[in-house]
Amino acid sequence: MEKTIRLLFDASEICTQLNGTAQYTINLINLFNKYYYKEFFLYIILNPDLNELEFLSHFDKLRLEYEIIPLHTRPIGPMRDLKYLKINRYMKDKYDLYICPTEKWPYFMKEGIFIVHDARAVNKTLIGLNILKKIYLKFILKKGFKNSTSIISVSGSTLKDFEESMRINLSDKSSVVYSSRPEPVLVDSTKISDDIKYFDSEDYFLFFGQLWRLHKNVQRLIDAFKEYKKECNTNMKLVLAGDDKNTLNHQDLQRYDIFYLGYIEEADRQYLLKNAKVLVNISVFEGFSFPILEALQNDVEVICSDLPVFKELYRCMVSYVDPYSVDAIVNVFKDFTDSPEVKSKDNLEQFKEEVSAAGIYNVIKRAAKN
């Protein structure tokens, strides 16, 4: 019988309201739990702001053995890395491999698996930082690429973006493993809020995400939908679900059949998605986009940006649009109103859980032997 691989697993990104990286982290633990729970032991680094019960609520049942390692993480900077240094010293002989599912590689970590999602998001993050933090973030990224045993990228486009932006060659220790999502499950309608059930009899375009993030392009989406409603006599609605951190101007939204729901619970989110006419994601950059995959799994049509990463991942299963052109977005809305084209969803095999799990498992096994 093979020896259990002890993983120091960084889940510090998981919080109450999940971003894409946190969702990826949860999915990864779910894959370990479903397929390899007898082969891995997880030391899970968790921000104490999220208690263990809240953490466990993201899983049906954890069969794999684990131990929580609390860590109050700080923003990018030396103080954060010193906290990881203390953990590394305390855990030195207890784990075999460090798993970092975020671009924030700790400076003092010498080995492990570095999982990267979106180079353009990292580059855009640099714009909002002061000069010292910009230098530091690039510095620890390079450390991660250098010190990690293996690198996993969620797409070939992401890997290429990192190589070009960081001017490095990662081909000798990188693997591309597409993300996955569980197969759709029946939603218990008794758990759905009345506000969500209001849309049962309505046709609507749907957007999920953190509306306050500029790269999500939500304001241009709203502007395009308003123009579309002016030009077309239609009952179609636009539903926006996600936290906006008070960045949106809510005036006149419902006048144009635009409904802002704020952050919603998972059951409501699944229900909205299953009943949507079209999911819309017109981000100006993105690493993967779980909502698109979920929509395709539920046989919901998708409008998304004509980004290289989306074309790599979703090929001919979605309808593409220029995310910078309001006119182009209006026209694709009209196309779905007048004569919607039903896209084939037959190329989802590459996103199956067992395919993603096997890809990540193979990387871990190779790294653990080194």
CA distance 281 to 60: 29
Count CA atoms closer than 13 A to 262's CA, side-chain side.
Answer: 4
Residue 200, pLDDT score? 87
Identify the band that residue 74 occupies on the pLDDT scale cut at 50, 70 and 90.
Answer: low
Say if residue 246's pLDDT is above 60: yes
Exposed e or buried b per residue across 265-293, where buried means at least 16 C-beta atoms within 10 angstroms of its C-beta: eebbbbbbbebbbbbbbbbebbbbbbbbb
Residue 205, pLDDT score? 97
Identify the band that residue 123 occupies on the pLDDT scale cut at 50, 70 and 90.
Answer: low
Residue 79, pLDDT score? 86
Pick from 51-60, 124-133, 199-208: least confident: 124-133
Per the CB < 8 A criterion, the answer to whether 308 and 159 are in contact is no
CA distance 56 to 11: 12
User: Of 228 and 103, which is predicted with more confidence?
Assistant: 228
Pick from 70-74, 124-128, 329-333: least confident: 124-128
Residue 57, pLDDT score? 87
Q: For residue range 322-368, what is the model confidence (pLDDT) as tens digits? A: 999 999 999 999 999 877 777 878 789 999 999 999 999 999 999 99
CA distance 96 to 77: 26
| Strand segments (E) across 54-148 | 65-70, 97-100, 113-116
The DSSP code for 60 is S
CA distance 348 to 293: 9
Same CATH fold, 189-350 and 5-180+352-369?
Answer: yes
In single-letter form, the type of residue at position 288 comes to F
User: For the chain, what percent of residues have pLDDT higher than 70?
Assistant: 95
Please spell the DSSP secondary structure of 131-157, one letter per residue. HHHHHHHHHHHHHHHHH-SEEEES-HH
Q: For residue range 41-60, what is the model confidence (pLDDT) as tens digits? A: 999 999 888 888 889 988 88
CA distance 290 to 243: 17
Q: Specify the CATH class of 189-350 in words.
A: alpha beta
Structure tokens at 254: 């419902």
Return the domain boundaries, the chain.
Answer: 5-180+352-369, 189-350
In single-letter form, the type of residue at position 232 comes to C
Residue 166, pLDDT score? 86
User: For the chain, what percent of residues have pLDDT higher than 90?
Assistant: 59
- Summary mean pLDDT of the chain: 89
Give backbone dihedrals phi and psi of 330, rounded to 5 degrees, phi first. Answer: -60, -45
Within 10 angstroms of residue 42's Cβ, the number of other Cβ atoms is 24
CA 213 to chain CA mean position, Å? 13
Residue 185, pLDDT score? 72
In single-letter form, the type of residue at position 204 comes to Y
Within 10 angstroms of residue 244's Cβ, the number of other Cβ atoms is 18
Pick from 66-70, 133-137, 212-216, 333-337: least confident: 133-137
Identify the band that residue 127 occupies on the pLDDT scale cut at 50, 70 and 90.
Answer: very low
Q: For residue range 267-322, what is the model confidence (pLDDT) as tens digits? A: 899 999 999 999 999 999 888 899 999 999 999 999 999 999 999 999 999 999 99
Exposed e or buried b per residue across 331-353, where buried means at least 16 C-beta atoms within 10 angstroms of its C-beta: ebbeebbeeeeebebeeeeebeb
pTM for this model (two decimals): 0.90
Q: For residue range 135-187, what is the model confidence (pLDDT) as tens digits? A: 787 888 889 999 999 999 999 999 998 998 888 999 999 999 999 987 777 77
Residue 179, pLDDT score? 94
**Residue range 5-180+352-369 in CATH 3.40.50.2000:** yes
Count CA atoms closer than 13 A to 83's CA, side-chain side.
Answer: 17
Exposed e or buried b per residue across 109-147, where buried means at least 16 C-beta atoms within 10 angstroms of its C-beta: beebbbbbbbbbbbbebbeeeeeeeeebbeebbebbbeb
In the block, which residue shows the tokens 């006149």?
A: 252
